[in-house]
């Protein structure tokens, strides 16, 4: 995939993390996803790209100064 899996304007307001994995592995990462939320990251989008699942986590740039 050459283009980013999110709109370009998201980068101006948030720090973003893109995570690619299989559906089976995603189900096993429940604890990791909960930890991301505790650290202030929100799950913004989950989509598929062929056999991969693509998850995008974001944290607004204003929030990172308080975290």
Q: Could you read off the pLDDT of 14-30 as tens digits, one per residue?
A: 999 999 999 999 999 99
C-alpha angle 61-25-37 in degrees, rounded to nearest 5: 30
Distance CA 46, CA 36 (A): 15
- Band of the pLDDT at 3, cuts 50, 70, 90? confident
Instruction: Report the chain's mean pLDDT, rounded to a whole number.
Output: 89
35 to each of 7, 11, 17, 32, how far by Cα in Å? 25, 22, 14, 5
Distance CA 17, CA 19 (A): 6
Residue 42 near residue 28 (C-beta atoms within 8 A) = no
pTM above 0.85, yes or no: no
């Amino acid at each position: 995939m050459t283009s980013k899996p999110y709109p370009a304007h998201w980068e101006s307001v948030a720090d973003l993390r893109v995570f690619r994995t299989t559906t089976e592995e995603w189900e096993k990462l429940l604890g990791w996803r909960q930890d991301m939320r505790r650290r202030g990251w929100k799950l913004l989008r989950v989509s598929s790209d062929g056999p991969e699942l693509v998850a995008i986590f974001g944290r607004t740039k204003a929030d990172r100064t308080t975290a």
